[in-house]
Amino acid sequence: MQSFAGTFARNLVVAAVCTVAGPILLVLGALGVADPGEVDRRVPLVFLLVGLVGTLAIPVLALSGARADYRVVTRRDRLDDGPGRPDDSFALWTPRAVVPVPQQGRFAPADVLEAAFVRYGGDWEATYQSYGGDLDPDEVKPLIRLRLRIHPDDSAPFEWTGERRVPSLCLSAVTAGRLVAVVHPTSPAEVGIDWPRSALLAGTRPCRLVGLDGRRVDLTGRPDLLLEQMRIAGTAGGIRMDVDTIDLRHLTPPVATRLQGLVERAGEPAAPPMPGPPSEGRSRWVVDDLPGETGAFGDIDRRWARQGGQLTRARFLELRGTTTYQYHGPVLETVLRIWPVEGGEPFEARKKLTVPMNYLALLHRTKDLVARVSPDRRAYEIDWNRSNLAAGATPALVIAPDGRQFDLTGRFDPLLAIMRLLVAHQVSVSGNVLDLRARRPSTMVAQVMEALRTSLDRDTTGPGPR
């Protein structure tokens, strides 16, 4: 498991190599000042001072780099107020929309018929890239070629094809297959995409309403009502979503009355002819091409496992973008809920994490994560290889001793149970296929098969999304 001391030592070596001129100048300056035959000692003194500053910068740079690289949740990251929200609560602060809505135009739902990865990134000069101010750099957004079927309210559906830069926090809208298009009223071919609202329409961002009578309804998965809610909010303005909920009792009476109609209609079936996205498949599966960790059952640090290290479940409750990026994904301010391995009440923690893009592309389906727990139960580290496998970014296959194959792609609970058994028996599986025909401890094989039987009894939804 990652340790702060090891992270600091690694960054210390990197900083020493990058600023090696500092110690060299320090030595040359010290030798020049100590040389009694030197007449003009100003140059050696300059060397000495510059070298001293450069040498002292090495531990400072190493410390700042270690703090940026150390992504382990510890006790000081815990939130004091404890769990106060339901498990299905989730807040996503997406980038602001840069597509202006035409004065006479309206939002239109769009189905993603095809999506193809084009390119991503540029010349990355460092592990982290930071941008100041209101910069909106393209090199940190994947370029995706889209073929859409757009459904305007006042005209027949039409298809549009083009390339768009997709903010990483909104990638799941492409995978989910539903976007919010902005069509100019006089030029339908001029199509923009409102990415924050697309994440809402795709179900990545939950949306709940508290009615005037205190009744709470969920609009998630109701694109007809969500589109109407967006149009009301766009017209009225100033409607604040508290985490994932809008409380109508805090709004002005005219706006609250309009939204109250959505509360009354939430229990009704979706009004036809509401378009639905095509069935999920390879036509819009860009996850394989996005940067991020590959999914795997996971390698085992035997010392960590022998001393009592285990795996546990974690879940994102909040995600907020920053101006810092790594190649694999953005650095986000997160709020996590973590379940102790011994049971009991989960706790919440706030931590900056680099979240891989291939995981973000599945955020409409899962917010769950696999975390490694230190033997002393004081530190928790997100295991992205295991998390991506459990999330479905990579196919997960278990081959039974008799040759039967079980596709567990995207089925978090049975995968986490099997990963825990592998840790308990200190068995490493670096890929996404667990072959029980190989030489394995017989006890572990029997326990894995029992976990499979239990999961199949509980879940009859079939294999994963592939």
pLDDT of residue 463: 39
Sheet holding 397-399, edge to edge: 405-407, 397-399, 433-435
Contacts of 308 (CB under 8 A, 6+ apart): 375
Q: Average of pLDDT values for 295-309?
A: 94
Extract the tokens encoding 85: 């929200």
Range list of β-strands (E), 135-200? 143-150, 158-165, 178-183, 191-193
Q: Determine the Cα–Cα distance for residues 73 and 373; give it in Å rounded to an integer.
A: 10
pLDDT of residue 275: 47
Length of the chain: 466
Does the pLDDT at position 462 exceed 50? no
pLDDT of residue 458: 72
Quickly list DSSP for 243-289.
TTEEEGGGS-HHHHHHHHHHHHHTTSPPPSS---PPPSSGGG--GGG
Does the pLDDT at position 291 exceed 90? yes
Q: Average of pLDDT values for 248-263?
A: 92
pLDDT of residue 278: 54
Q: Which residue has the higher pLDDT, 23 or 256?
A: 256
pLDDT of residue 333: 95
Which residue, chain included where needed, has tokens 């976007």? 179
Q: 225 in helix, strand or coil?
A: helix
Q: Determine the Cα–Cα distance for residues 127 and 425; give it in Å rounded to an integer.
A: 35
Helical pair 442-458 and 412-424, crossing angle rounded to 10 deg = 170
